[in-house]
Structure 1
């Protein structure tokens, strides 16, 4: 895989008709839903799995299938990320993963970040109090890596406006200066091809473009763990979890599972099915579909005299000054976000050209 839109991508559907029919079978939105950057819709198969997981617990049946769902989700995410599943930790939030990375840095280390990036990828470095956190515009982040930069932390796609980082340039700059890299794919995993192996650390939540429930987030680490200490490790981080329930963990997992947090089992029961759908459709097909709709919206905005934040190749479109329209659009059955006064529309596999045109029609009024 490649870190940008031009590289090989996993499992594309053979025909547009097959893509559309599979999507129709899984999603029945009651609104024009253009807010995946906040939360993705749950596929029908995921809803069914969540119901079955709840029944399993309600009826007192063995929970073994739920733990199997965790491992199946880890393996599916690893395939999407392009790394072995031994490099994937299953946690609860990007903020917690960032905290583990922040805890590994020596006092005085310089962390380079992008202005206005999402809090979960930034805050743990600030609260340390003894790190040098340097912030620059996203467009300048690669050129701002310098000798002495210990870590560069950035989102692959910006939550606020969809701008996509030049990850290839960032990777090369980090290599040149010996800096480590940490990329948050929360607003990209599921529509933008990933190559997690190209970076030291990556993370992503599961409830946006990956179409899962809340409560799960993944962390990828190098084979040698990149100097991280599993400061949040509990019994599930043991090489033999069921033998690690009492007292200190005597042997941490030999894989990235040593960074696991206690699993939200119902979440993984659903997420396993959501990730299977993403794999069936293929990131290549999803990317083409999502970006085509975003481009259609950008063209329509230009015709209406509106100029969105420049974010070429992104599935997220942010329009300055139109955030105040969000409540009225919601009342009209069109779900978008208001972010810092900007109207943010996020296009995903269950959206259509008709959805774009309906939003443009509403904005024109």
Structure 2
């Protein structure tokens, strides 16, 4: 039988409910579940764990392909907040950081807790026009967690270039369904347990070829050029690549992530995007027939409906998983969802 998008997806996913909450966390494909079981068995049986370390590098390389950059520019860490902390630590005292109002906390808080930076927040739609002489860094999510709005990244790049500012873009709510060209920005980050379908515990940071002035402030033995020769005493030679910014990896996580990224590559981001946006548009059209208007987020796989967040517990009880975000009902559509899932959500909302 010919392998199609649908047959490949159906072979990997069999949710027991109507899961429309990828913006919180994605479902694990069957191949990732198998890989996790195999990784746990290695530990349980006392066998060598070398294969799990290889999974880290396989996953790093797969992410680099998605990001469109050489693998030497990709660092592996535990979370977006930890990676943002590296960026924040590299800024001089008094530097201005421009952010979007109500962006996700992991993109913002490391700059605020420094205490000696000038952090300025503006509405997302005014971000590019608000870059000014003296702005050191612009930090923003490519797609907003709360409502799915997509930042005008081309305008932001141009404004940053004009004023000599650097850019830091969080693709956590975008990579896997939205085209991702990390080379267009100074720094990018993404966690991997949402649209990339991996387990929790991994985030990739993409840095410039010259590392962009970052210091490896979290460096342990894995940040060495020769990790196994650097287990004791100070590291004498840091990795020549972005691996110098690595934090000791959660090996089980990368075992599953390797398999998840393989699936994303097999399906293709463009095909996933077309699938997701068709479902999001179906939901928007259905909402209009019910008299509801979602927050504007054209071209996004995330749809948020004002005033309906209170219905999340009712929907969950009916086997439909969505989120309540700031009073908004947030539904997010990914490769394992179908038109029937959308229609079921609309049916329950419509009573």
Calculate the TM-score normalised by the size of structure 1: 0.95
Distance (Å, rounded) in 2 between the aligned partners of 1:329 and 1:236 = 45
Distance (Å, rounded) in 1 between the aligned partners of 2:19 and 2:300 = 17
- Is structure 2 residue 324 aligned with structure 1 residue 360? no
Distance (Å, rounded) in 2 between the aligned partners of 1:341 and 1:92 = 30
Runs of 4+ off more than 6 Å: none
- Is structure 2 residue 278 aligned with structure 1 residue 289? no
Which aligned pairs between 1:205-354 and structure 2 lie closer than 5 A? Answer: 205-354=191-340
Report the number of matched residues. Answer: 350
In structure 1, the residue matched to 2:158 is 172
SS of the residue aligned with 1:122? helix
Distance (Å, rounded) in 2 between the aligned partners of 1:120 and 1:320 = 24
SS of the residue aligned with 1:203? strand
In structure 2, the residue matched to 1:122 is 108
Query: In the TM superposition, what is the alpha-carbon distance from 1:89 to its structure 2 partner?
Result: 0.3
Superposed CA offset, 1:301-342 (max 9, x none): 111110111000000000000000000000101000000110
In structure 1, the residue matched to 2:128 is 142
Distance (Å, rounded) in 1 between the aligned partners of 2:306 and 2:223 = 45
Q: Out of 15, 26, 31, which is 2:12 matched to?
A: 26
Query: In the TM superposition, what is the alpha-carbon distance from 1:172 to its structure 2 partner?
Result: 0.7
Query: In the TM superposition, what is the alpha-carbon distance from 1:33 to its structure 2 partner?
Result: 0.2
- Is structure 2 residue 87 aligned with structure 1 residue 105? no
- Is structure 2 residue 73 aligned with structure 1 residue 90? no
Superposed CA offset, 1:41-67 (max 9, x none): 000000000000000111111111000
Distance (Å, rounded) in 1 between the aligned partners of 2:295 and 2:230 = 50
In structure 2, the residue matched to 1:155 is 141
- Give ranges in structure 2 of 5+ residues lacking alignment: none
In structure 1, the residue matched to 2:31 is 45
Distance (Å, rounded) in 2 between the aligned partners of 1:171 and 1:258 = 27
Distance (Å, rounded) in 2 between the aligned partners of 1:113 and 1:307 = 27
Calculate the TM-score normalised by the size of structure 2: 0.99
Distance (Å, rounded) in 2 between the aligned partners of 1:303 and 1:112 = 39
- Is structure 2 residue 85 aligned with structure 1 residue 80? no
Distance (Å, rounded) in 2 between the aligned partners of 1:291 and 1:83 = 26
In structure 2, the residue matched to 1:6 is none
- Give ranges in structure 1 of 5+ residues lacking alignment: 1-14
Query: In the TM superposition, what is the alpha-carbon distance from 1:244 to its structure 2 partner?
Result: 1.1
